[in-house]
């Protein structure tokens, strides 16, 4: 009877450790990349009004726009699509002799929006909190033309939110708008801005 022998081939121990080291380095590099990305995206710029009555923070990568109608306006110019996510903060002084009620101001805003925006439609009106104060949240939609220079010539359906809060004889309106098909992805940045609002 012939004896049979089996030959077992094994990976040299050194080669196995080399492969393990490469895998470990790749994992570490990925983790460091994600951490750096989170750090970059997490950088914020703080805005404070001239009188110090209101302050907030918005993402550092957002570019401040010139808008005489607002205290501050900024857009994510690196955002996807022809319509870039944008937020703004406006303030209205209330006439102490003829103060506007919350409903009056919301109706006035709706009329203004209806006259300025194409196919403007209010989607919902809710109550919430902004800067530790009771506030109204108006969600609406409209159709916007793409920014000049955009490769797309198709109009864009935009979803937007106005947060309205009264404080010490003033009304503050914090607004956010993004393309409707990107709104859910972009709303997190706006929520971060909302969380940073400080009304002195």
Is residue 2 assigned to a domain? no
Domain enclosing residue 22, as ranges? 10-42
105 and 27 in a single domain? The answer is no
pLDDT tens profile 4-56:
444 455 545 556 666 777 677 777 666 655 544 444 445 889 999 999 999 99
pLDDT tens profile 113-126:
999 999 999 999 99
The residues facing 2 across adjacent strands are: none
Q: What is the pLDDT of residue 146?
A: 72
Is residue 90 assigned to a domain? yes
Give CA–CA dist 106/112, Å, rounded: 10
Q: What is the CATH number of the domain that holds 141?
A: 3.40.1000.10
51 and 135 in a single domain? The answer is yes
pLDDT tens profile 76-91:
988 888 899 999 999 9
- Give the pairing of strands 54-59 and 44-48: antiparallel
pTM: 0.74
20 and 54 in a single domain? The answer is no
Q: How far is CA 156 from CA 62, 120, 153, 182, in A?
A: 21, 13, 9, 11
Structure tokens belonging to residue 194: 């909302």
Total domains, the chain? 2
Contact 39, 182 (CB under 8 A): no
Is residue 3 assigned to a domain? no
How many residues in the chain? 200
Structure tokens belonging to residue 71: 């205290």
């Amino acid at each position: 009877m012939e004896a049979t022998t089996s030959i077992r081939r094994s990976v040299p121990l050194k080669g196995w450790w080399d492969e393990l080291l490469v895998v470990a380095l790749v994992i570490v590099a990925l983790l460091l990349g994600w951490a750096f990305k989170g750090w970059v995206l997490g950088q914020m710029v703080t805005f404070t009004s001239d009188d110090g009555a209101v302050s907030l923070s918005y993402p550092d990568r957002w570019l401040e726009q010139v808008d005489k109608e607002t205290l501050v306006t900024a857009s994510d110019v690196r955002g996807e699509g022809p319509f870039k996510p944008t937020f703004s903060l406006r303030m209205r002084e209330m006439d102490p002799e003829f103060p506007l009620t919350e409903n009056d101001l919301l109706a006035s805003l709706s009329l203004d929006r209806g006259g300025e925006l194409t196919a403007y439609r209010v989607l919902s009106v809710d109550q919430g909190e902004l800067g530790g104060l009771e506030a109204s949240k108006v969600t609406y939609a409209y159709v916007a033309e793409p920014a000049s220079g955009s490769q797309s010539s198709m109009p864009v359906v935009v979803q937007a939110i106005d947060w309205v809060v009264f404080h010490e004889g003033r009304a503050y309106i914090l607004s956010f708008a993004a393309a409707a098909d990107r709104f859910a992805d972009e709303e997190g940045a706006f929520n971060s801005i909302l969380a940073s609002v400080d009304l002195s």
